[in-house]
Amino acid sequence: MNPNGPVLVTGATGFLGSHLLARLRAAGRAVTIVSRSPRPALGAEGIRVVVGALHDPAVCAEAVRGAETVFHVAARVGVWGRREDFFRDNVLATRALLAAARAAGVARFVHTSTPSVVYHGRDLAGADESLPLTRSCPSPYPLTKAIAEAEVLAAHAPDFRVCALRPHLIWGVGDPHLVPRILARAAAGRLRVVGSGANRVDMVHVENAADAHLLAEAALAKGTAGGRAYFITNGEPVNLWRWIDELVAALGRPPLPARRVPLPVASALGAACEAVWTILPLAGEPPMTRFIAAELAKDHWFRIDAARRDLGYAPRVSMAEGTARLVAHLRATPPIRD
């Protein structure tokens, strides 16, 4: 099996997907992507673009044609929204892609999952892959990603090797989600420390996350991995609120307010917001949800021993180096607004 053959990348226009796409193109790989709209600029670069929705079996069948590896990075992300939308984009799309890949004789399938598939509402300190998948969560994202991951791993076979990667809080220069939201809320005076402020979290730099995907493909080709999930982080848990404070200070912006919001209060506020957004309903995401409250207040860091052992994963960009790059970039760009 050739780990240097043609590949399909879903979610290739997103943050992680675009980094993975760049790495594959730099290696001279033939790449197909799926997009809901035409991408003439990417087509001009020699990338094969299939236009359509991933939950459409015909789109998947066309997308996997000729591919030897599928990197399934695409997903509906977020903490709020209709469950049917998350189910369509995270579960039905994965099912359609799996079926098309097996029918087309694709050799390898690398699925981008998330650590939130093991959300159980409690602290996760040094957790490993033995944790069961969640079946109860106040957000449809972890629930639908857990279903999708389970179906991917169940499809593993000698002639169709699969694995799932769980990158946690992907960040870096160009991040459109995590850091911009933090800085925008801090600038607007809307960011408060939830809980004790002592919780530790893992993050993963986007370049390390891209490394992990390429290493997973190679490991599947060699047979050193298959049929299991792997946490992917920087392997350097940080105090979440101290890291945010230091980032804000490095950018010369006002520090976070000293007043903290107890987790029970934040959870109650989140439940109230969810009720209002459901009953009215209101557009966009609520400013607080029960899931966000738990994520902001609790430990969630993970062991990466299995990824080191089976994939040969070793984070190249440290938290310190990544933060320095990010600060330099943000200092050279206009302020982020909410």
User: What is the sign, positive or negative, of the torsion defined by CA atoms of 173, 179, 185, 187?
Assistant: negative
107 vs 160: CA distance, rounded Å:
5
Task: List the catalytic residue out of 119, 141, 230, 313.
Answer: 141
In the annotation, is 141 catalytic? Answer: yes
Q: Which residues of 66-96 are buried (b: 16+ CB within 10 A; e: fewer)?
A: ebbbbbbbbbbbebbbeeeebbbbbbbbbbb
Parallel/antiparallel/unpaired status of strands 7-10 and 31-35: parallel
Query: Chain-centre distance of CA 219, in angstroms?
Result: 21
Active site (catalytic) residues: 141
